[in-house]
Amino acid sequence: MCLILVAVQKHPLYKLILAANRDEYHDRPSKPPHFWKEVPHLLAGRDLVAGGTWLGITLQGRIAAITNYRDPSNPKPNAPSRGRLAADFLTNIAEPMVYLDVIRMVKDRYNGYNLLLGNPDRLYWYSNRSDEITALAQRIYGLSNHLLDTPWPKVTKAKGFFEEIIRAETKPSTEAIFQLLADQTAAPDHMLPETGVGLEWERILSSIFITSPTYGTRSSTVVLIDKDDNVLFLERTFNSRPEPVSTSTFEFTLKK
C-alpha cells in the first residue's frame, strides 16, 4: 500500500472514511478482498507470496493498513514480510497499544514500514523508522512511503481533494473518491522528493495512481464507517492498466 487517506470524525454521518491505493509489482500474485477461510470474521485482500495483507477489517471492527517506507539504501533481503504485521493484528485479540509494544521490540528485523491499526473509534500510526506511536485525532491524514503527513506532492494533493469531497457531500461520493485515487498526474521535477530511486522512478512514483510496465497501483479501496457502525467496503483491482479488472463490494454492521 503506497497511499492512505484517513478522515477521522470529520463528517457528520461517518466516524471514519478511508481511501487507499496499494502499489506493487505486477507479477506478485494476490487475491482481492474476501473473508478468509481460516479467519471467517476477517475481510482483507491477501498477498499470495507471504500470506499477509495490505488492508483489512474484521467484523468486530479491528482495522489495519500498511505502507512500505521507501529507503533503498538500507535493504534487509531476508526480513519478514511487513504485510504479516497487518494480518497478525487483525487475527489477534490484543489491544492496539499492547500489540504495538510487542512489535516495537522487533522493529529492526523489518524493512521500513508505516502501520495504521486500531478500530473506528481509535486509530494509531506507528513507523519502525521513527519508532513513534501517534493516536489519530479528529482530522484528515495522509500517508505514503515516508512518515505520517510527510508533504510529498501526492500526499498534499490527495489530502486536499479528499477534504473537498468530504466537505462538499452530505453523503460522500465513493465514485469521486475513486476518481481521486485514479489521478495519474506526475508531480513537477522541482517538487519531487529524493528517496534514492533516481529521477525517472521519482517521477513515476509521484502520481497518486502509478503506472509502469513492471510496477503500479494494483488496487484502490474505499471504506466508510458511519456513526451506527455500518461498514461499506469497496475495492477495485487492476493489473498493468488503469482499467479495473474486478470490483468487490461488502456491506455489514460491526459486531462489538
- pLDDT of 71 reads 93
CATH number at residue 225: 3.60.60.10
Quote the number of domains for the chain.
1
Looking at residue 169, its pLDDT comes to 75
Helix (H, G, I), strand (E, B) or coil at 90: helix
Q: Give the pLDDT score at 240.
A: 80
| d(C-alpha 130, C-alpha 113), whole Å | 10
DSSP designation for 38: S
**pLDDT score for 1:** 62
Query: Residue 189: which domain range?
Result: 3-253
pLDDT score for 74: 86
Write down the pTM of the prediction. 0.97
pLDDT, position 242:
84
Please give the Cα distance from 74 to 153 (Å, whole number): 24
pLDDT tens for the chain, 256 residues long, are 699 999 999 999 999 999 999 999 999 999 999 999 999 999 999 999 999 999 999 999 999 999 999 999 989 999 999 999 999 999 999 999 999 999 999 999 999 999 999 999 999 999 999 999 999 999 999 999 999 999 999 999 999 999 999 987 788 999 999 999 999 999 999 999 999 999 999 999 999 999 999 999 999 999 999 999 999 999 999 988 888 889 999 999 999 7
Residue 192 is predicted with a pLDDT of: 97
| Burial grade of 106 (CB within 10 A; 0-12, 13-18, 19 or more) | exposed
The 3-state secondary structure of 105-168 reads CCHHHCCCEEEEEEECCEEEEEECCCCEEEECCCCEEEECCCCCCCCCHHHHHHHHHHHHHHHH
What is the predicted pLDDT for the residue at 243?
87
Cell of 55: 488492508
H helix or E strand, kind and range, residue 100: helix 96-104
